[in-house]
């Protein structure tokens, strides 16, 4: 980042690989994961607010919800542990556990761990399988079988007020199971560059001053007044002079992504069907455009793609998707995270120095 902020994923590496340090794992998306069961499970809908007072006893909140928070163990093919993180049960009947994508990533490759265990608050260890993950939003879902715990509810993160009391539960340092920290909701709608996916920003993050430690990744950030999860803890900023800068993927983002993963094993995003590179000042001037022009320079168009059908050509400069401008802080890859195959979008391009708008229906990756 321009201010030199140090961002760290909150997963904990173990053993000879890292000696308990902060995880800075890198992984890649995995396609083709199997769906869960023959029929799609119901979506994870936000629950109505129960109207609990903001002065709710935090001890009762933790006693009620902590049994559904788990430690996630990520193993190598040899069976040795490579990392630990946190997660929480959202469907006890099917045993669905939400965590971070980077928690289940292989720390040395672009893939995922070979196998996973989850450890409950009472010490029970259960083998879990990966349902799917979405690296771009840092969300993953595991399945651990039917569990006798109360599933946590994904609330509406938009409704949580700034200053609300929040509780983070997770496996601090990967060892201190179900550790609890308390703070306030410090901000909403934050965006930070992804630490695992190039040219993508994590959007709609919620910020908290509740202490987030290595190993807390994937654990819930709970709005104490409603006993609902409003975020999945994912990273912290560590810079000299900074304090209390923890971030969580908003529950509204998690709900949408987890639903898609549970139903199909992955998140499929709409494709324009182009190859491109960020427009540089030199390229802009070579095209007769002001050096300050921002956008994506199209270098190739895939035959038969949505982009080809719309009339896009190499040399076109894509400057907007719908009304969202493309620039260094809003790269095309980030803007496209919200779109699915079949979505209709409007593209604004510059061709021969003139602005044009093209309409197209997004396709699928081939």
**Least confidently predicted of 6-20, 176-190, 235-249, 256-270:** 6-20
Residue 4 above 50 pLDDT? Answer: no
Q: What is the CA radius of gyration of the chain?
A: 21
In CATH, 274-361 is 2.30.42.10: yes
DSSP conformation letters of 101-131: TGGGB-SSSSSB-SEEEEE-TTS-EEEEEEE
Q: Point out which residues pair with 12 in neighbouring strands.
A: 22, 84
Task: Identify the CA nearest to 338 among candidates 253, 272, 273, 274.
Answer: 253
Q: What CATH architecture is 7-264? A: Beta Barrel (2.40)
- Hey, where are the domains in the chain? 7-264, 274-361
Active-site annotation holder among 157, 217, 250, 305: 217
Q: What is the pLDDT of residue 28?
A: 33
Active-site annotation holder among 138, 179, 213, 250: 138
Q: What is the pLDDT of residue 32?
A: 33
Give the span between the Cα atoms of 254 and 2, in whole angstroms: 28
Give the span between the Cα atoms of 240 and 84, in whole angstroms: 27
Q: Point out which residues pair with 301 in neighbouring strands.
A: 274
Active-site annotation holder among 86, 102, 251, 316: 102
For the question of residue 66 being annotated catalytic, the response is no
Residue 55 above 50 pLDDT? Answer: no
Give the span between the Cα atoms of 302 and 142, in whole angstroms: 35
For the question of residue 316 being annotated catalytic, the response is no
The arithmetic mean of pLDDT across residues 87-100, rounded, is 96
> Could you tell me if 271 and 305 are in contact, meaning their C-beta atoms sit under 8 angstroms apart?
yes
The arithmetic mean of pLDDT across residues 4-8, rounded, is 59
Task: Identify the CA nearest to 102 among candidates 242, 232, 204.
Answer: 232
Q: What is the pLDDT of residue 174?
A: 76
Q: What is the pLDDT of residue 50?
A: 53
Residues 311-355: tens digit of each pLDDT: 999 999 999 999 999 988 788 888 888 899 999 999 999 999 899
Position 76 confidence tier, pLDDT thresholds 50, 70, 90: very high
For the question of residue 242 being annotated catalytic, the response is no
**Residue percentage of the chain with pLDDT more than 90:** 68
Task: Identify the CA nearest to 224 among candidates 69, 63, 71, 77.
Answer: 63
Residues 218-231: tens digit of each pLDDT: 999 999 999 999 99
Q: Point out which residues pair with 139 in neighbouring strands.
A: 134
């Amino acid at each position: 980042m321009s201010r030199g902020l140090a961002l760290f994923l909150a997963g904990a590496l173990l053993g000879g690989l890292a000696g308990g340090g902060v995880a800075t794992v890198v992984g890649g998306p995995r396609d083709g994961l199997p769906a869960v069961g023959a029929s799609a499970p119901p979506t994870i809908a936000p629950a109505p607010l129960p109207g609990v007072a903001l002065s709710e006893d935090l001890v009762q909140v933790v006693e009620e919800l902590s049994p559904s928070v788990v430690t996630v163990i990520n193993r190598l093919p040899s069976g040795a542990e490579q990392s630990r993180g946190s997660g929480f049960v959202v469907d006890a009947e099917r045993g669905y556990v939400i965590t971070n994508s980077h928690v289940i990533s292989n720390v040395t490759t672009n893939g995922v761990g070979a196998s996973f265990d989850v450890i409950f608050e009472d010490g029970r260890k259960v083998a879990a399988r990966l349902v799917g993950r979405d690296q771009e939003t840092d969300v993953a879902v595991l399945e651990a079988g039917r569990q006798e715990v109360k599933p946590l509810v994904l609330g509406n993160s938009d409704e949580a007020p700034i200053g609300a009391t929040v509780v983070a539960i997770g496996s601090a340092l990967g060892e201190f199971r179900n550790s609890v920290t308390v703070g306030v909701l410090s901000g909403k709608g934050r965006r930070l560059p992804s630490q695992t996916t190039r040219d993508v920003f994590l959007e709609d993050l919620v910020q908290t001053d509740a202490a987030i430690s290595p190993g807390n990744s994937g654990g819930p950030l709970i709005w104490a007044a409603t006993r609902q999860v409003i975020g999945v803890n994912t990273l912290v900023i560590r810079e000299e002079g900074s304090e209390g800068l923890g971030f969580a993927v908003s529950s509204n983002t998690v709900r949408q992504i987890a639903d898609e993963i549970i139903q199909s094993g992955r998140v499929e995003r709409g494709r324009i069907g182009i190859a491109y590179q960020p427009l540089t000042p030199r390229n802009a001037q070579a095209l007769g455009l002001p050096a300050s022009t921002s956008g994506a320079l199209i270098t190739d168009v895939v035959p038969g793609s949505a982009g080809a059908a719309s009339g896009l050509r190499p040399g076109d400069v894509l400057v907007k998707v719908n009304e969202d401008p493309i620039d260094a802080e809003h790269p095309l890859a980030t803007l496209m995270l919200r779109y699915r195959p079949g979505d209709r979008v409007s593209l604004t391009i510059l061709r021969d120095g003139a602005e044009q708008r093209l309409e197209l229906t997004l396709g699928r990756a081939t």
